[in-house]
Amino acid sequence: MKLGNLLTLVTIVSLLAVSCNDPLFLGSDLLKQDQVGLGYTDTISMNTTTIRQDTFQVYNPSVKLIDAFLVGNYNDTHFGKTKATTYLQYRLGTTQFPDFTNTKFDSLVLGMVYDTLKVYGDYAKETTLNVFALNESMVSTSSYVSDKSFNADPSPIGTLTFIPNPTQKISFTEYHSGVKDTINTNQMRIRLSDQLGMQLMSAPDSVYKTNDNFLKFFKGIKISAQSENNGMLSFLPLDLRSKISLFYSRNDTSFQYDFIVSSLSARTVAFEHDYAGAFVEKYINSSNKSDSLAFLQGMQGTLVKVEMPYITALKDKIVNKAELNIYVKEFAGESPLFRSVANVLLSEKKDSGKFVSINDVLVAISVGGESGLSKFFGGTLVEESVNGQKRLKYKMDISSHIQKMIKGSVDQSLYLTVYRRGESANRVALYGTGSVLPPQLKITFTDSIQ
């Protein structure tokens, strides 16, 4: 099962489930109609299932699919263990040929700017990250999926043991064209192998003539977490301040040459999930369609399948509005560091097996981009108060797709996924079909004229 990314966004969103024995009840408490044929129902039966997602594209040379790249070895009590490993291809930072004549090597440093909005969990504990040189070439004209790894040398070219503080800015010195400059930014810096730095300085001139030549000499890096932690770090390799800097000097004057990840560089992240012994394990691919809980996770984690087997009972109805509400199950005592998924999407599965966003999502994006998505489709986390009790839910306008389901022109299942899942470590537990707050589909309709 391949989950394709659509329009730079990842697409999949799930429907709900309400426990009913009959497809549609027409009592006054469930269906209200007036003289002009207007009607309303909120009792369509649904089934929810937690399933594992398959791979999806994280790199495509034609479109930027993700901006933030996760790195971590994350153990979550509810969702199990997840590893995220980032692979990056570096290119020459300038067309100006570096002059290493009569120079002395000083240091080689990897700098990676944090994405402070995408770091996740209780990551502020001692962490060890390793950097490895790739032995296998990444191809910038190829596409890569979310479990693709690349062979790397087993010995790291850089290691850092530290307590991450992504919001703290650090100061360091740069020397472009021999001019000293102090930089203040929130980034991680790892000193790389002196041997590699000297190899870069002593490389033949031909290595620096073209990027193709350079990529044959230095294929890129792998960044992975050695130690297990309770969170994920996130970096922005395309940021101009994220680079590998070679520092050297001539006659007591310092210089540097930068290697960068550009829009032409291959860049990818590989995920590994292990649910053994985790709370979610018994719910994954469960045959019980009345489970009280469903679980949604970013990265290559779980998604939620929502089936509406009786939706065609509304045949001959014209949908004016269809709103899907799915409620969040909050675990007692859980730290606010483990944020719920901020945005969700809904997808359908085509006969080819490909997952694509439903029309309601695509129209919302075409009208207003990301802001249009939340404005016209929804999918954001909202709070409501019922009888003085606060509860969180995801609310989605799926009017167009429900009309298609009623007509029987599309499948009766939908899939709930995390928006931009390739760069999101967020997860959320949801109330399922057999719970006290089952998913609810509110439909306002008009009788069609026969």
Q: Which residues share a beta bridge with 304?
A: 50, 416
Cα–Cα–Cα angle for 97, 214, 113, nearest 5°? Answer: 85
Residue finishing a domain among 273, 289, 310:
273
First to last CA, the chain: 41
The counts of H helices and E strands in the chain are 4, 31
Predicted pLDDT of residue 36: 57
Is residue 132 in a domain? yes
Whether residues 374 and 414 share a domain: the answer is yes
Whether residues 26 and 152 share a domain: the answer is no
The set of residues, in sequence order, having a beta carbon less than 8 Å from that of 212 and lying 6+ positions away, is none
Is residue 75 in a domain? no
Predicted pLDDT of residue 51: 95
Alpha-carbon gap, residue 65 to 210, rounded angstroms:
27
Is residue 343 in a domain? yes
Is residue 323 in a domain? yes
Whether residues 423 and 382 share a domain: the answer is yes
Predicted pLDDT of residue 31: 41
Whether residues 426 and 312 share a domain: the answer is yes
Whether residues 226 and 96 share a domain: the answer is yes
Predicted pLDDT of residue 6: 39
Q: Which residues of 170-187 are buried (b: 16+ CB within 10 A; e: fewer)?
A: eeeebbeeeeeeeeeeeb
> Which residue range(s) make up the domain with 156?
80-273
Whether residues 224 and 306 share a domain: the answer is no
Alpha-carbon gap, residue 233 to 321, rounded angstroms:
40
Residue finishing a domain among 273, 291, 319:
273
Look up residue 6 and give its two tokens: 């659509």
List per-block mean pLDDT (blocks of 10 residues) for the chain, which spans 450 residues.
40 32 33 63 95 94 96 95 98 90 96 97 94 98 98 98 96 88 94 98 95 97 94 97 96 94 98 96 91 96 96 93 97 91 95 90 92 95 89 97 95 96 97 95 86
Beta strands, E only, 140-252: 144-145, 158-162, 170-176, 179-185, 187-191, 221-225, 230-235, 243-250
pTM, entire model? 0.89
Look up residue 384 and give its two tokens: 């409501």
Alpha-carbon gap, residue 346 to 411, rounded angstroms:
13
Look up residue 98 and give its two tokens: 């570096």
Predicted pLDDT of residue 212: 97
Q: Which residues of 400-423 are buried (b: 16+ CB within 10 A; e: fewer)?
A: ebbbbbbeeebebbbbbbbbbbbb
Whether residues 320 and 214 share a domain: the answer is no
Amino acid symbol at 231: G
Is residue 72 in a domain? no
Amino acid symbol at 117: L
Whether residues 96 and 142 share a domain: the answer is yes
In the three-class reduction of DSSP (H, G, I as helix; E, B as strand; rest coil), residue 265 is classed as coil
Query: Which of 424, 430, 345 lies closest to 121 in space, CA to CA?
Result: 424
Is residue 66 in a domain? no
Is residue 385 in a domain? yes
Whether residues 330 and 441 share a domain: the answer is yes
- Asked if 307 and 46 touch (Cβ cutoff 8 Å), the reply is yes
Whether residues 94 and 243 share a domain: the answer is yes
Burial of 244 (0-12, 13-18, 19+ CB in 10 A): buried
Is residue 71 in a domain? no
Look up residue 280 and give its two tokens: 């979610």
How far, rounded to the nearest angstrom, does the alpha carbon of residue 318 sit from its chain's CA centroid?
A: 36
In the three-class reduction of DSSP (H, G, I as helix; E, B as strand; rest coil), residue 51 is classed as strand
Residue finishing a domain among 246, 273, 300:
273
Whether residues 47 and 91 share a domain: the answer is no
Whether residues 285 and 249 share a domain: the answer is no
Could you give the number of structural domains in the chain?
2
Print the SS3 string covering 359-403.
HHHHHHHHHHHHHHHHHHHEEEEEEEEECCEEEEEEEEECHHHHH
